[in-house]
């Protein structure tokens, strides 16, 4: 059985004020949104406070060592079921513990809360060469965007904004509700002004005063040089707009098509060059394709099958102003059939000890 008094560090006969004070101190200390906070401890402290701050439940706890009324009831002996309660991240910031925490929650609720428009993601396909040298794509996206006519204000051109009467310009309204902690006052984004604190005197006709509307928008995506298949480009603020909030982000997923001649290995490109056996022995010159056009390379005498010839600077741009290399894999084509003539010559090579 948990000792709620011990958890809060108070005496059995502690006054309501003592309990409140103890809880406030410990909740400050352990709040999971705080640096060095401890979620488990915070839950424990909150659970203790929920019981000891409630006269009826405290009496039950004092007498029977458990509570029968309130939220604790559902989970049976010894406490509460916190499994459905989300203390982590943004959800918890919805609470405004106002009179309990005092200044601690100022700035976490109401207008201070970050609201964002929806993120959107699109896929685009690139050729092998586009992925290496970069490309520009224009895509038409249907999304909720800022109204062009009123520039997001929601007001008809030439008309003024006035303070929202629902929230007195605060952008948020108080809402009282019950939870297992007891009664809470939470701050909700004002439904009337959507958190902006002001509303248009005369609404913009294009967007009905919303400041945003669903429309087609052409977005220019500049794909940088040297991207790989599966890579994601994030374009901040190019997602959906939301009234009175910052726009979401646009994520562009890149799909790079394979190439018949080249493959990539980091910032290097790999290609295969078939050469004749005689050129492997004596050396020779070959025309090869690169992404920058054709060029001649020298195959050194005595090159081995599978050996790489490195052509500097003909690979993938690395984003720091230089490029990787082109690696030419030598593929020696051994003749499958030899003419009588050739056979004779090669037998002479054997005699020569090769």
Question: Which residues carry a binding-site annotation for Zn(2+)?
Answer: 147, 150, 164, 167, 190, 193, 204, 207
Q: Which span sits near Zn ion by CB under 5 A: 17-25, 128-136, 162-170, 318-326?
A: 162-170
Q: Which span sits near Zn ion by CB under 5 A: 163-171, 260-268, 289-297, 336-344?
A: 163-171
Per rule CB under 5 A, is residue 48 in the interface with Zn ion? no
| Residues of span 113-152 touching Zn ion by CB under 5 A | 147, 149-150
Q: Determine contact, residues 49/2, Cβ cutoff 8 Å.
A: no
Among 48, 51, 190, 303, binds Zn ion (CB under 5 A): 190
Q: Which span sits near Zn ion by CB under 5 A: 83-91, 157-165, 292-300, 333-341?
A: 157-165
Distance in angstroms between the alpha carbons of the first and the last residue of the chain: 90
Residue owning tokens 């078939």: 274
Comparing CB distances to Zn ion, the nearer of 41 and 192 is 192
Comparing CB distances to Zn ion, the nearer of 195 and 317 is 195
Q: Min. distance of Cβ 115 from Zn ion in angstroms?
A: 13
Per rule CB under 5 A, is residue 166 in the interface with Zn ion? yes
Per rule CB under 5 A, is residue 204 in the interface with Zn ion? yes
Q: How many residues bind Zn ion (CB under 5 A)?
A: 12
Residue owning tokens 């030419």: 328
Among 164, 241, 328, 332, binds Zn ion (CB under 5 A): 164
Q: Min. distance of Cβ 197 from Zn ion in angstroms?
A: 6
Comparing CB distances to Zn ion, the nearer of 126 and 155 is 155
Per rule CB under 5 A, is residue 193 in the interface with Zn ion? yes
Q: Min. distance of Cβ 174 from Zn ion in angstroms?
A: 12
Per rule CB under 5 A, is residue 250 in the interface with Zn ion? no
Instruction: Measure the CA angle with vertex 310, ends 336 and 321; round to 5°.
Output: 145
Question: From the CA atom positions of the chain, what is the Rg in Å?
Answer: 36
Per rule CB under 5 A, is residue 41 in the interface with Zn ion? no
Per rule CB under 5 A, is residue 269 in the interface with Zn ion? no
Among 14, 85, 108, 206, binds Zn ion (CB under 5 A): 206
Q: Determine contact, residues 227/178, Cβ cutoff 8 Å.
A: no
- CA distances (Å), origin 338, targets 274, 321, 335, 341, 343: 18, 50, 7, 8, 6
Look at the alpha carbons of 2, 5, 11, 14 in this order and tell me if their dihedral is positive or negative: negative
Comparing CB distances to Zn ion, the nearer of 79 and 154 is 154
**Two tokens, residue 35:** 């640096």
- Angstrom distance (rounded) from CA 13 to CA 194: 47
Among 167, 247, 299, 303, binds Zn ion (CB under 5 A): 167
Look at residues 2, 184, 183 and name the one whose alpha carbon lies nearest to residue 75.
2
Calculate the CA 62 to chain-centre distance.
49
Q: Which residues are annotated as a binding site?
A: 147, 150, 164, 167, 190, 193, 204, 207
Q: Which span sits near Zn ion by CB under 5 A: 24-32, 53-61, 156-164, 274-282?
A: 156-164
Look at residues 222, 217, 118, 113 and name the one whose alpha carbon lies nearest to residue 171.
113
Q: Determine contact, residues 281/151, Cβ cutoff 8 Å.
A: no
Look at residues 267, 265, 326 and name the one whose alpha carbon lies nearest to residue 291.
326
Comparing CB distances to Zn ion, the nearer of 167 and 299 is 167
**Two tokens, residue 81:** 């079921």
Q: Which span sits near Zn ion by CB under 5 A: 4-12, 178-186, 205-213, 225-233?
A: 205-213
Instruction: Measure the CA angle with vertex 136, ends 131 and 141; round to 5°.
Output: 115
- Angstrom distance (rounded) from CA 74 to CA 81: 7
Q: Which residues pair with 293 in a beta bridge?
A: 290
Please give the residue ranges that form the binding site for Zn ion (CB under 5 A): 147, 149-150, 164, 166-167, 190, 192-193, 204, 206-207
């Amino acid at each position: 059985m948990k000792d709620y008094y011990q958890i809060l560090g108070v005496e059995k006969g502690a006054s309501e004020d003592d309990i409140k004070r103890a809880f406030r101190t410990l909740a400050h200390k352990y709040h999971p949104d705080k640096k060095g906070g401890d979620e488990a401890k915070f839950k424990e402290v909150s659970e203790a406070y929920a019981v000891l701050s409630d006269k009826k439940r405290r009496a039950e706890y004092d007498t029977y060592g458990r509570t029968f009324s309130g939220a604790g009831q559902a989970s049976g002996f010894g406490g509460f079921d916190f499994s459905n309660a989300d203390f982590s991240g943004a959800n918890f910031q919805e609470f405004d513990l106002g009179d309990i925490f005092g200044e601690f929650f100022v700035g976490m609720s109401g207008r201070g809360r970050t609201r964002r428009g929806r993120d959107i993601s699109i896929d685009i396909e690139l050729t092998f060469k586009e992925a290496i040298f970069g490309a520009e794509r224009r895509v038409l996206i249907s999304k909720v965007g800022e109204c062009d006519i009123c520039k997001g204000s929601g007001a008809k051109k030439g008309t003024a904004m006035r303070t929202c009467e629902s929230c007195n310009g605060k952008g948020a309204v108080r809402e009282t509700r019950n939870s297992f902690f007891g009664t809470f006052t939470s701050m909700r984004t004002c439904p009337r002004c959507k958190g902006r604190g002001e509303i248009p005197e005369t609404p913009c006709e294009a967007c009905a005063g919303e400041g945003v509307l669903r429309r087609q928008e052409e977005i220019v995506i500049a794909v940088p040089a040297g991207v790989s298949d599966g890579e994601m480009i994030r374009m901040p603020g190019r997602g959906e707009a939301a009234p009175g909030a910052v726009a979401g982000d646009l994520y562009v997923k890149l799909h790079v098509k394979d190439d018949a001649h080249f493959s990539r290995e980091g910032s290097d490109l790999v290609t295969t060059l078939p050469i004749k056996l005689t050129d492997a022995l004596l050396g020779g010159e070959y025309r090869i394709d690169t992404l920058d056009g054709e060029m001649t390379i020298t195959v050194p005498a005595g090159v081995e099958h599978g050996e790489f010839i490195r052509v500097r600077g003909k690979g993938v741009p690395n984003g720091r102003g230089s490029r990787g290399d082109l690696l030419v894999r030598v593929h020696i084509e051994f003749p499958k059939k030899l003419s009588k003539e050739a056979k004779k010559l090669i037998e002479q090579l054997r005699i020569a000890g090769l």
